[in-house]
Amino acid sequence: MTGHDLDALKSEIAYKIYNSSVSRYPFAHSETDDFLPVRLLEEILENWPQSDEFKTNLESDSTSLVDQADEEHPFNFRYQICLTDSKEINQIKCQRIEFWKSLKEILSSGQVIQALVALYANNLMRRFKLNNLSELFSEIRYTPRLHLLHDKTNYSLGPHTDNAGKVIVVLIYFESDKEDNTQSSFGTSVYIPKERGFVCSTGGHHERDNFIRVYSAKFKKNNAFSFCRSDNSFHGVEKVQNKTVERKLLQYSLYGKLKSSSG
């Protein structure tokens, strides 16, 4: 991609974010159709990495809360490549790696980060106890982490609020190889706890029986689901049963920290 191409793609993605609408209950979240420019989506699918270039969640050390020897654990049915980790992105072979480096540059750009922060500005100002929008950019240091994911039928995630260091998470759905029903709810689900006022600051996973699922994003090509991380941003993935489904998606996690914080 040329510099002009990259700038155009950054601007088009920022446009989609700025013009997204946010649902406020039970936590701030948004769902956006046709999130990526079509030409970029086509290149993503054309350059999709080979299976042996991915690692499972357990192999990548992205979780340490379960028995590593349990081959049937749902986490072993999600495979990933961290595009912002130099070691993991270099698992991608041949010329395809150049495309993924360009995609990383696009999604990690200041234009895209600024648009995401602006979308959830009110929530972030409350979280960091800031007085105005400009302080979100002058007082906070943002770090994006991008994970290319594909998961299979047995993968699931119990309700959780996510890592406390995250401020915004975006899930961009690409396609499901075996499932043609684009209205099926294999996307991220939103939950409310049965116990009134229950919150979680650690991001640990909880039993589904203690929650009510109130919404599921549609897993359809180029749909994006995002949310602002908080102590009540309970979300997860329902286990797919009686179907053969393999999902492809990208998880964009934006971390944020006050510049005045130590460390």
Query: What average pLDDT does the chain have?
Result: 87
pLDDT (mean) for 72-79: 56
Note the pLDDT of residue 241.
60
Task: Report the range of poorest mean pLDDT among 4-8, 117-121, 125-129, 192-196.
Answer: 4-8
What tens digit of pLDDT does each residue of 130-174 get?
999 999 999 999 999 999 998 765 667 899 999 999 999 999 999
What is the model's pLDDT at position 261?
Answer: 76
Return d(Cα 190, Cα 211) in angstroms, integer.
10
Domains parsed from the chain with CATH numbers: 3-63+85-258 (2.60.120.620)
What confidence score (pLDDT) does residue 183 get? 47
Angle between helices 121-128 and 110-119 in degrees, nearest 10: 80
The end-to-end CA distance of the chain, in Å, is 37
d(Cα 54, Cα 58) in Å, to the nearest integer?
A: 12
CA-to-CA distance for 200 and 185, rounded, in angstroms?
Answer: 25
pLDDT of 184 over the 90 cut = no
pLDDT of 73 higher than 50:
no
> Which residues, listed in sequence order, are joined to residue 126 by a DSSP beta bridge?
none
Q: Which residues contact 178 (CB under 8 A, 6 or more apart)?
A: 243, 244, 245, 246
Q: Which residues pair with 29 in a beta bridge?
A: 23, 227
Residue-level pLDDT at 63: 46
The pLDDT of residue 118:
97
pLDDT single digits (tens) 10-66? 999 999 999 999 999 999 999 999 999 999 999 999 999 998 999 876 665 554 444
pLDDT for 2: 77
- Which of 112-121, 174-183, 230-239 shows the lowest mean pLDDT across its residues? 174-183
SS3 state at 165: coil
Q: How far is CA 197 from the centre of its chain?
A: 26
